[in-house]
């Protein structure tokens, strides 16, 4: 296929994925807004008023970037994981694999769909947060780069999860036992400087620490990690996960029986 054909294929997959989650917006876009509103009320107003300041900011201001990022991560991941596994379950993935569409277009198409939902939800949660706190923006470029790169990372991770999944239960194992703990331990609700030195070092193994802190820097100008390291981690994960997904699809692992 030439460039024009590849672009049409990419656009078709991306639009199909967008229509899929927009058609059931009550299930895909509304629940994150309600969940984050509860976080703002419980952690921000009720608990935050007792905690006081966090690294020079009110507790509500401090957790807002983390809560936005948490919603982006979970929705980017779950969108691709469920969408791609559904194509496997319905056997429609076979039609896509035998078509002249290059494998990298398939990966980019599903990744684009996951990123779109993640960014949609992130925008909705940002709007919700404005009812609870005055949002300040320190560096818009860092905010945009971080949220795009993070949504790309977890869209690709969701795709890999779906490739290996053999049942709908399999696509919930990693979010439940790996993604959720890493997110809650990723500095969303606290600064890692509050931890003992040993646990600060352990926390730096968690990649979500870098994503949350880079995003927080964009809003507040405060971060617990080096920004260069944070973006290096993000780009490295995208590269590794993209090549892994491409290789798995090329070899038909988990797709051909």
Assigned domain for 228 exists = yes
Residue 28 lies in a domain: yes
pLDDT of residue 166: 86
Residue 200 domain boundaries: 3-251
In a domain, 257, yes or no: no
In a domain, 256, yes or no: no
Looking at the predicted structure, is the pLDDT value of residue 184 above 90? no
Cβ 29 vs Cβ 121: under 8 Å: yes
Within a domain: 55: yes
pLDDT band at 88 (very low <50, low <70, confident <90, very high): confident
Q: What is the pLDDT of residues 203-222, one digit of tens each?
A: 889 999 999 999 999 999 99
Q: Note every long-range contact of 173-177, with CB atoms under 8 Å and residues 24 or more positions apart, other chains counting.
A: 175/74, 175/77, 175/78, 175/81
Q: Residue 180 and residue 170: Cα distance in Å, rounded?
A: 15
Nearest CA to 62 out of 171, 195, 174, 187 is that of: 187
Mean pLDDT of the chain: 90
Alpha carbon distances (Å) from 132 to 40, 139, 250: 7, 21, 47
Q: Is residue 240 part of a domain?
A: yes
Give me the pLDDT at residue 134, please: 87
What distance in Å separates the CA atoms of residue 93 and residue 84, rounded to the nearest whole number? 8
Spacing of C-alpha 34 from chain mean position: 18
Count: domains in the chain: 1
pLDDT of residue 255: 75
Confidence of residue 90 (pLDDT cuts 50, 70, 90): confident
Is the pLDDT at 256 greater than 80? The verdict is no
Is 32 part of a structural domain of the chain?
Answer: yes
Token pair of 157, please?
């991770």
Q: Which of 104, 133, 48, 119 is nearest to 246 (CA)?
A: 104
pLDDT at 1: 66
Q: How many CA atoms lie within 13 A of 224 on its CB side?
A: 28
What pLDDT score was predicted for residue 121?
Answer: 95
C-beta separation of 83 from 110 below 8 A: yes
Does position 257 have pLDDT exceeding 60, yes or no? no
Tens digits of per-residue pLDDT, 12-67?
A: 999 999 999 999 999 999 998 898 888 888 876 777 767 777 878 888 889 999 99
- Does 152 fall in a domain? yes
Mean pLDDT is highest, among 37-51, 82-96, 150-164, 171-185, for: 150-164
């Amino acid at each position: 296929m030439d460039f024009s054909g590849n672009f049409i294929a990419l656009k078709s997959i991306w639009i199909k994925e967008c229509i899929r989650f927009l058609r059931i917006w009550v299930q895909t876009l509304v629940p994150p807004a309600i969940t984050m509103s509860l976080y703002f009320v419980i952690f921000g107003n009720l608990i935050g008023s007792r905690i006081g300041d966090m690294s020079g900011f009110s507790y509500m201001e401090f957790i807002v970037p983390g809560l936005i990022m948490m919603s982006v991560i979970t929705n980017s991941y779950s969108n691709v994981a469920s969408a791609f596994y559904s194509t496997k379950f319905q056997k429609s993935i076979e039609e896509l694999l035998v078509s002249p569409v290059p494998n990298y277009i398939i990966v980019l198409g599903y990744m684009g769909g996951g990123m779109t939902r993640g960014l949609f939800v992130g925008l909705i949660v940002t709007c919700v947060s404005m009812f609870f706190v005055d949002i300040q923006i320190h560096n818009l470029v860092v905010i945009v780069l971080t949220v795009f790169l993070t949504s790309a990372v977890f869209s690709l991770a969701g795709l890999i999860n779906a490739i290996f999944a053999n049942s709908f239960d399999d696509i919930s194992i990693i979010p439940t036992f790996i993604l959720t703990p890493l997110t809650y331990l990723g500095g969303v609700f606290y600064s890692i400087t509050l931890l003992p030195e040993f646990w600060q070092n352990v926390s730096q193994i968690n990649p979500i620490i870098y994503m949350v802190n880079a995003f927080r820097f964009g809003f507040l100008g405060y971060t617990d990690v080096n920004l260069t390291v944070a973006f290096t981690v993000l780009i490295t994960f995208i590269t590794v996960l993209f090549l892994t997904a491409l290789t798995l699809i090329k070899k038909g692992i988990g797709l051909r029986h």
